[in-house]
Chain A
Amino acid sequence: MKARTKTGRVLAALAIGSLFVAACGSDDEAADTATEATTAPAEESEPEVVLASDECAIPVSADVVAIDVMGWEFPIITQYAAELKECEAANYSFNIQFLDSKEAQNQINLDLATGAPSYEMVQGSNQFIVELANKGLLLPLNDLIDKYRDQFGLDNIPQGMWDLVTVDGKIYSIPMVANTQHVFYNEEVLNKLGIAVPKTYDEAITACPKLIEAGYAGFEMMLSADWAWQIEYDNVLGSLGVKPIDNTTGQPNFNSAEGVKAAQILSDIVSKCGGKTIGTYSTDDVQNAFQTGEYVLGHLWASRAAAMDDAEATTPEVLGKVKFAPALTGGTVLGAPAYVDGYAIPAKVGVDAEKVFLAMLGATDDESQTAAAKFGGVTRSGVSNPEGPRNGEALNVSTSKGRGADQTHPAAAIYRAEIGKALIKILDGASAADAIAAAEAAYLKEAKAQNLLS
C-alpha cells in the first residue's frame, strides 16, 4: 500500500510537471526558432540570394520565420491565403486563422493593443486598416515599399488604391483585392417577368411586388448584421450626396433630411421586399440563394460574382444566367463603396518586419494576383484570368462612380459601430427616424467621451 501510493504520487508529480512544461511552451516549435531569427542580427542580403520558387519569388530565409495571420475569409481571400502558404518554400511557416469579419476585427484589435501581438500579419479591408492605423497599431510600410517597388512592380497598382490604405502619407498595406457592391440579377427571370434592371432605389422597390408575386424573393440587400447595415446605409446616404460625418470635425451629418431618407429607403426595402427574413441571410447565404435561383435580383459583393459560375454549387438552370449591373443610385452617385483588402503588419510585430513584408510581396505578385483574379477583382493593372468572373464592368463602373471609401476620421469607427446597431433595429420594427436619432445620440455621447470630436 505504501509503495504504491508513493510511486503513484511520484508519477503524478511527473505528470503534472510534464504537463506544465507542455502547457507553458507554445506548441509551435517553429516559434522557438523564430525567436532566434529575431534576436540574431539582421543580415543584409548576401551576395548570392536564393529565391524560393516561381510562385513565391522571395529570398529563402536563413532561419524559419513563423507567421500567424488573422483575417476574415471570402473566396478570393482563401486564394490569397493559399498564395501566402506557397512562401513556405522560403523557409516560412504560416498559421492562418479566420473568423467572422466582426470577430476577426475584435480579435485583431485586442491582440495588437497589447503591444506584443501574437499575430505577425493581419488581413483586412481598407476600412479596418485605416481604423487600426489611426490607433497607431500598424507598421507604416513606406520604406519597404520604396525598397522593393521596382523588383515587384508595385507601381502596377493604381495610386487610387494605395491612397485607400494611406493615412497622413503613411502606407499601411499592399492592396490586393478590389471590391465593391453592385447589382446581381438573373437575366432570364427578369426578362420573363418583364422587369427592367433597376437603376435607382425607387425602381428596385417598385419591382419587388412583381417578383414576390411570381414566387421569388424581392430585391435583396445584405442586412443580417450591424456592420452590414452600416455599409449599405453609407451606400444609400452616399448616393444622395452626403457623407455621414464631417471628415475634419467629426460632427454628424447623418441626422438630416437625407440621412433619414436613406434610412427610410432601407426600411422600405425591408418592408416591401422581403420582410424580416432578409435579416437571416448572411453574405454566404445570399450568395447561395443566387446560386440556387431563390434570389433573382439584389445587391451583393463583387467578390461573390465568381461563385455564380461555380458549376458545383450553382443549380444548372441558374448557371450562366446571373448578370451584373452597376449599383443603384439615390440621385447623385452610385450607392457603391470602394474597398480594397490587403495584408498589414502590426506596429510592434515580434519578428523581422522585412521578412513579413517579403511574404506579403510574394503573395501579391503578378503570378499570385493572376491566380486570385479567378475569384474576384485584383489590384494590379493588366492582370486578369480567363476563368475570372464576368462582372468586371459592373465593378469598375460602381467603384469609379460610387460613393467612395469609408471615412478615415478617427471618430468614424464609432459612427460605424453606432449606426449599425441602431439601424438593425429596423428589422424589429423601429422607424427610420427613431433609428437615426438614436444613432446620433449614441455617436455623440461615445465620441465625446473618447475625445474624438473637434
Chain B
Amino acid sequence: MVTATHTGAAPETFFLRRELVNELIQALAVDDREVIGPRVEDGTIRLGPVSSAADLPRGIGLDNAPGKARLVERGDDRLFDQPPGPDSWKRWTFPARVTQAVWTDGDGTPAIERRLENPPRHITKKAFLGVRACEIAALSVHDRVLSQGPTPDRDYAARRRDNLIVAVECAVAGGTCFCASMGTGPEVRDGFDLALSEIDDGFVVRVGSPAGAAVLEGLPVLPATDTQFEHAQASVARVREQMGIAVQTEGLPERLIAAADSPHWAEIAERCIACTNCTLVCPTCFCTSVGQRSDLDGQAASTERTWDSCFTLDFARVAGGNFRTRLSDRYRQWLTHKFGTWTTQFGSSGCVGCGRCITWCPVGIDVRESLMAVAPPVAAAVVARPVIEALPVVAPPPPARHEQHGTPPVKTTVVDTHRETHDTVTLRLRTDHQPLINGKPGQFVMPSLPAGASPAISISRFHDDGFSLTVRAAGASTTRICALERGETLTVRGPMGRGWPVEQALGRDVMVITGGIGLAPLRPLLDWLITNRERIGRIQLSYGARTPGDRLYTAELDTLLSSGVIDIAQTVDRAGPEWLGRVGVVTQVIDRIMCSCDRTTAFICGPERMMQATVDVLHERGVPDERIWVTLERHMDCGVGLCGHCQLGKFFVCKDGPVFSLAELGPAFGIEGL
C-alpha cells in the first residue's frame, strides 16, 4: 500500500543478509499475497510470480540498447543488477483487456451493466518486488491520470490499492535509462513500503510504512551500520554519474509546442513504423479503446476496454475523417503530449525516463535524441538538475462504494421520432434522470444499443421529461439508432462535457453561425437565448447547408423567421428552383451582417474548415478570441477523459470541451494533424 511521504526524519534503516531474501519473499507472501518480481523468461527479464529467491535473476544483466535487449551472464550473486525489461507494473494495475460492461436482459429490455465502475471485490493482493525509482514515479503518474480526475477509474483504484511496494534502488544504469534527466531517479525517495539497496553481502533496507515494518518483523534484520548505508548511497550515486544527463528538460513543454512546425518531425517519421511498441511498453501511457463483443445475433453482448495507442490509424478517426493520418503527426502527438502538454494536464511530465521505448523500438529510435533534435534547449549552457524533484506520492482514493456516480448508463424511452433530412433523425427521449434533464446547452451524451458502438452525440433540446437527440446515420451504429421506433429503449451515458457559456451572451449581440447538422448542438443554446431574449442584444443565426433538403428543423426555422424574435440568414451551396433564398457559403452571409463587433459573442459549430473560415471573417470584423466559441468533434471512446483519444494539445475535448473559446485553444486550433 502506498502511503504518504515520510516528512522530516529519515526512515528506519536495516540490513538484510543476502541469504535471507527467501525469508523476505515468504514474509511478503503471507495471507495469500501474490509476489511479483523480475525473472528470466523468454530470453529477457520479465515480471511474474516469484515464490523464492531462486526465481530471481541472480547474476544476470540486461544489455539494453536502441532496438536491442540481450541477457548477460555475469556469474555473480547479485539479484537486481538489471534495468527493467519490457514489462511495467501496469500489467497488473491497468491490464491490457478488461470487460467494461455487459448487456443484460434487465426487465425485458436490454440494460448495460458497467463492470468497470464495479470492479471485482476480490482482487488478489500483491507484493511488487523490485520496483525501481522510475517505476514508482510511473505509478504515481498513473495515480494522477487515472484516479485524480473528475471521473476516477475505479478498476484501476481497486487494482492499485492493497499492494505492497518493495522498491529496489538501481546499482547499474541501463543503456537506455535516463531517469536522472527526468528527475525521477535513480534514487528511491518515497512511494515504497520497503526499499532495498543491494550491496555486496546483502541489502540495506529502508522502511517506508507501517506495512513495510510489519513485513520485516520476525526477520533477523539488524540496524544498518553507517558503512553499509554509505555503500548504498555511493552505489546509487555511481549510477547517477554513469547515466549523465541526456535530455535537457528545462522548458521542454514550451520548446515542444514551439516546434510544432519543425521539419524534424518528418525526418523522424521516415524511420518510425508506428508499430505502437513504444506506447505499449511505456509505464505511463494510458490510452484505451472500447470494442464490442457479441454473438452472431448481438444477444450476448459486452464491451471490452483494451490498450490502444495514438500511433494507430483509427485513433483519431471520426465519422467523415481522420485527424492524424500522417505518421509524422502521430509521432509529434506522442512526443508533444508525453513531454509537453501532459504537464499542463496532470502537473508533471508523462515520461519517467525508464528507456523502454528506446530499447523495444524495432528500429531503435532513441527518444532522447529525437527530443534534442526537434526541441533543442534554448540556452546553450547545460542546465544540471541540482535537486531531484520527486513526484509527491499520492494515495489512490478510498475504496469505492457500490453506488453509481459519474456517468452511469441510463435507460431512456423513445417517445417521438422525426425525420429531418434523408439521413438525419431527431429522437425525443423520455427519462427522469435529473442530470440529463438539467444538462447544459452544448453538452453531449454517448448512446448505445447492444453490440453496437457508442458515438458521442450532442443534446439537441431539453424537455421537462427528457431531451432530444438529432442523429445522422453516418455508420452502422448511428443507422441503428436512427431506426429506433416509439416505445423502444436507448441506453445513454451523460450529460458530458462543458457546454456553451450562455452568460457570455447577456448584454451583448450574439452571432450563431453553423452549417448542416451543426445546428443541432446549437439549438439548446438558441432555446436559452430566446427564453432570455430581453437580456440580450441582437441575435443573428447564420445557417448554411449543402442543399435545402439538408437543413434541420425547417418548420421551426420558418416559424422563428416569421416571428422576428431572432434574425435568420440561410444559405445553401446549391439549390433547385424551389429555393428562393441565398446560394453561397455561410461565411458570405456573415460578411453582410452589420454588427457592433466589439460587443458581440459568436458561437460556431461546423466542419473544422468551415469554422476556421468563419473565424477568419470574425477576426476581420474585430470580434476578439475570448468571445468566439466553437464546439469541436474528436474520436471519443469514454467521454470522461480516460481513453486518451480526444486529446488536442493539452486538452481532452470530451471533458475540457467540447466547447472552447478561441482564446483558450490558442495555437491548438487550426494546426493540421494536431
User: Real complex partners, A and B?
Assistant: no
- Interface set of A (CB-CB < 8 Å, partner B): none
